[in-house]
Amino acid sequence: MDLSKLYRGPIVLLLIVFTNVLLASAFTGTYGVNYGRIADNIPPPESVVTLMKASKIKNTRIYDADHEVLKAFKGSGIEIIIGLGNEFIKDISASQDRAIDWVKQNVEPFVPGTRIRGIAVGNEVLGGANQELWEVLLPAVKNIHTALENLHLADDVEVSSPHSAGVFASSFPPSAGAFKETLVPYMKPLLEFFSQIKSPFYINTYPFLAYISDPEHIDINYALFNKNPGIYDSKTKLHYDNMFEAQIDATYAALEKAGFAKMEVIVSETGWASHGDPNEAGATVSNARTYNFNLRKRLLKKKGTPYRPKKVVKAYVFAMFNENLKPGPTSERNFGLFKADGSIAYDIGFTGLVPSSATSSFSFKGAGLIYAVCAAALVLL
């Protein structure tokens, strides 16, 4: 058969349209990276785009809607989730006009060139210290979604709100996963709306944080995906050889108890610190490399979890860079896969950027240099 005949005339257009429809709500692949920027020494956005493309990172998440970042990602093909900060939630919840203005300013001018695929309304709101935000989160989410509908963007841009492990009353064993009773009056209506608009449940899950909270009783190999005896959940009769999947299945169990068994779970943050304070056990370069290397290998297999074997696990790693201005314990400033100068923090298979003495731009090491020059040229187009 002459296959070239299949790619002529209207069939070509049909294939292109069909492909675009498939990509509109997709998380390309299974691996993404959070691009935090609370630092004064990291590479400019244009160089970050070059770095992501060389590393084949196709999904990223930022915590605001910085216009310079959104401009830099134009034409890159990288899918990006932008953030509406917690400080804006109350204002957005009170005014549909303000929500429309926000979308007009921060989304509409950049699409489709910049592939904005989602808006994260707040971060770790429910269960957080500001209880006033618990009440206004859902109205803010609804107003942003309505704004997207009014501007004919809702089919391409998802609305979500990532949660921390603080929303759970229990998570061990995985089948015991359940939301805190105090949060159910806020969580359930939010889940009902996400179910209506077909948004997944985003959870920030950190085996690192679980381990440092109880290093005497948690096997670090279980937290790092290394060989270990694992744990057995007697209720489901399932065995877990790593904490990451156990935490995801605890989330599925909580959703099931709340009445949302079909909702997909996506990990919006996970990672391991390469350096920490004396009381942060396990925060070492070796452990960070092991966790992130094994996590990446695990995600590339495109498999599900023991409790949801048909739901392919997808996750955003925290974070792209060490962020020297982040407050809190030392670990907060040391989750980066890359150092401030763009070089790798440790080797999990990526190529880093290094400062060039010849120019003010960045270049890739060794054989990657030619790719960097070509990629940088593409960014300028």
**Six token digits for residue 17:** 């349209």
Helix (H, G, I), strand (E, B), or coil: what is residue 100?
helix
Catalytic residue among 124, 158, 245, 323: 124
**Six token digits for residue 131:** 């209880």
**Six token digits for residue 305:** 């979890």
C-alpha separations of 130 from 62, 135, 200, 381 in Å: 22, 10, 24, 44
DSSP 210-269: HHHH-TTTS-HHHHTT-S---EEETTTTEEES-HHHHHHHHHHHHHHHHT-TT--EEEEE
Contact criterion met (CB below 8 Å) for 165 and 155 = no
pLDDT of 284 = 98
- pTM equals 0.87
* % of the chain residues with pLDDT over 90: 83
pLDDT of residue 373 exceeding 60, the answer is no
pLDDT of residue 4 exceeding 80, the answer is no
pLDDT of residue 172 exceeding 50, the answer is yes
Domain segments of the chain as ranges = 26-380
For the stretch 236-264, pLDDT in tens is: 999 999 999 999 999 999 999 999 999 99
pLDDT of residue 150 exceeding 70, the answer is yes
pLDDT of 7 = 37
d(CA 89, CA 139): 9
Split at pLDDT 50, 70, 90, the class of 363 is: very low
Among 133, 71, 79, 141, CA closest to 106: 71
pLDDT of residue 378 exceeding 80, the answer is no
124 is catalytic: yes
pLDDT of 354 = 67
Average pLDDT over residues 268-273: 98
Lowest mean pLDDT among 13-22, 140-149, 208-217, 273-282: 13-22
Catalytic residue among 46, 269, 280, 323: 269
d(CA 337, CA 324): 14
For the stretch 44-58, pLDDT in tens is: 999 999 999 999 999
For the stretch 86-115, pLDDT in tens is: 999 999 999 999 999 999 999 999 999 999
pLDDT of 92 = 98
Helix (H, G, I), strand (E, B), or coil: what is residue 64?
coil
What CATH code is assigned to 26-380? 3.20.20.80
Average pLDDT over residues 155-176: 97
pLDDT of 19 = 39
d(CA 84, CA 137): 11
pLDDT of residue 193 exceeding 90, the answer is yes
For the stretch 339-361, pLDDT in tens is: 988 899 999 999 887 643 333 33
